[in-house]
Amino acid sequence: MGPGVVVREVAFVRGATRLAHMAEQTLPEVAFVGRSNVGKSSLINCFLGRRSVARVSGSPGKTREINFYLVNGAFHVVDLPGFGYAKFSRAQRNVWRRTIARYVTERGVLRLVFQLIDARHPPTALDRDMLLLLKESPAAHVVALTKADKLSGNGRQQALYRTRRYVEGLGLELPLVLTSSEDGRGRAEMWDWVDVHVGPHIL
């Protein structure tokens, strides 16, 4: 699927704060996860070719809902807030961590998780926790390095190299995709992974 991939229809389905409130497990799911401000809303919008399906925020960390979007009536894109909400208490963060952990390990229809990591910085402790948690998930796991437009060509190669080494150091071998919501870099490659793990002709 080339860069010209067109999404015909995107509909917001629901925002769930608990597993019990999630969409029924009838369609395959592709989740996007990452700490706040990593560029998740922007990348979801870019991936779907929409300006504002997912809210791009100037004040990160306000929402703590798992948002479901129905794409072409065929599969769900799931916006999964990551760990580490400074605004929440330790107890609240632990509850949220368990919710996310259960979602990625127990959700039968979850096929693919794009884990977003800022290309400009080494992975954080929260990124590491998520990398390790996703090891326990039956879904495929792809790392999307975000905001690649902010780096030079050399900086992008360094980001790839650094992240690959880091991931390997955790005993993981994962595909890495350099992405940018500004210039659309990586979008076609992300759709290729959807083809592989959700099925071809999903559009």
Q: Which is nearer to ligand GDP, 115 or 181 (CB)?
A: 181
Min dist CB 125 to Mg ion, Å, is 20
Map the footprint of ligand GDP across residues 152-191, applying CB under 6 A. Answer: 180-182
Map the footprint of Mg ion across residues 56-75, applying CB under 5 A. Answer: 57
Residue 41 engages Mg ion in binding (rule: CB under 5 A): yes
Find the part of the chain contacting ligand GDP (CB under 6 A) among 6-14, 18-26, 30-38, 70-78.
Answer: 30-38
Of the candidates 89, 149, 85, 79, the one whose C-alpha atom is nearest the C-alpha of residue 114 is 79
Amino acid at 200: P
Q: Which is nearer to Mg ion, 17 or 57 (CB)?
A: 57
Contact 141, 115 (CB under 8 A): yes
3-state secondary structure of 30: strand
Q: 28: Cβ–Cβ under 8 A, 6 or more apart, which residues?
A: 75, 76, 109, 110, 111, 198, 199
Find the part of the chain contacting Mg ion (CB under 5 A) among 39-47, 146-154, 157-165, 180-188.
Answer: 39-47
Which residues are registered as beta bridge partners of 16?
A: 66
Contact 148, 185 (CB under 8 A): yes
Find the part of the chain contacting ligand GDP (CB under 6 A) among 33-41, 122-130, 137-145, 170-178.
Answer: 33-41
- Could you list the residues that contact ligand GDP (CB under 6 A)? 34, 36-42, 56-57, 60, 146-147, 149-150, 180-182
